[in-house]
Amino acid sequence: MLKQCSFLCLICLALTVCPPLFSSPFPPDDRDARVAEIRTMERVLLFFVNEERSRRSLRPFTFDGTLRLVALRHSRKMAGENRLSHDFPSYPELDSRLASSGVCFTASGENVSRGSDCTMRVIHEALMNSPNHRANILSSKFEEIGIGIEMKGKAIYVTQVFADLFHPKTSLEMENELYAGIRYNSRMNIPVNPSDNNPFQALCRSLASRYALDESPEDLTSSYPEDSITLIRFFQLDLQIIYTLVTTIKRWQSNPWGLGVAFERSVRHPGGIFALALFMKNSK
């Protein structure tokens, strides 16, 4: 997660899920118009951001509604506190807020800005004139963005949340995909449903889960000194993972083996990560 802080004249900027923390200051009849105005401001700011990226041959950000809600709630938090910040007492950091929203991500960042009776162009230019905020806007690590704006009096609170989102398959789907890749690349006679009646399946899934939750390989393998255990963390399956498994299986081909996959969120990977465990039993 990337975050920085800076302050500019009438515009304050900062870089880095909770419910609204204050009631609307607008009469009911004015609220709908104000909401429509805010949504227009968010779209204008998104246009400016993607215009900057397009000028530099960078892929435009994809707008994400969940990221917008995370951003909006943070803007409301700042407005309720009358303060520009990423951090408040007993308030979760960005990665925790994203994880609580249910999204899975490999990278995250946040820009925060506060203006007084100014246009989105002014706020955007102030962000682009700040090196750290500019870096988030032009980063190649992020694919999605959410922008949330809250107004309180003449004050405009803006939060931009950036992320690289992914949509994980289920652990069983990933296991089946791994088995299919092993079968194809090894030309081995592996059953269509190799997990059926496999005595090592539960062990492999448990090892994979614990590895995804940041346990060390040494701790996980110490109880099996005579056997071979391969542990891999990954966000997306690739051929290198398949080749590693195929090489290990062929080396221990005459021995019984099992494979398990788990998906977990951890301190190191709050956005979620897959882990696999390949267990090769030493039958000699």
Mean pLDDT per 10-residue interval, the chain, length 284 residues:
41 44 42 84 97 97 97 96 90 95 97 89 95 96 97 93 96 93 80 64 95 96 93 96 92 84 96 96 80
Residue 75's pLDDT is: 97
Q: What is the spatial distance between Cα 178 and Cα 89, in angstroms, rounded to a whole number?
A: 44
Task: Say which amino acid occupies 139.
Answer: S
SS3 label, residue 276: strand
Residue 28's pLDDT is: 46
Q: What is the spatial distance between Cα 254 and Cα 1, in angstroms, rounded to a whole number?
A: 46
In the block, tokens 């009776």 appear at 117
The rounded Cα 231 to chain-centroid distance in angstroms is: 22
Residue 25's pLDDT is: 42
Strand order across the 257-264 sheet: 228-234, 273-280, 257-264
Residue 116's pLDDT is: 86
In the block, tokens 């088995």 appear at 179
Query: In Å, what is the CA distance from 74 to each residue of 35, 104, 106, 182?
Result: 16, 19, 21, 45
Q: What is the spatial distance between Cα 244 and Cα 248, in angstroms, rounded to a whole number?
A: 6
Residue 1's pLDDT is: 55
Residue 5's pLDDT is: 39
Task: Say which amino acid occupies 21.
Answer: L
Residue 109's pLDDT is: 97
Residue partners of 48: CB distance under 8 A and separation at least 6: 120, 121, 124
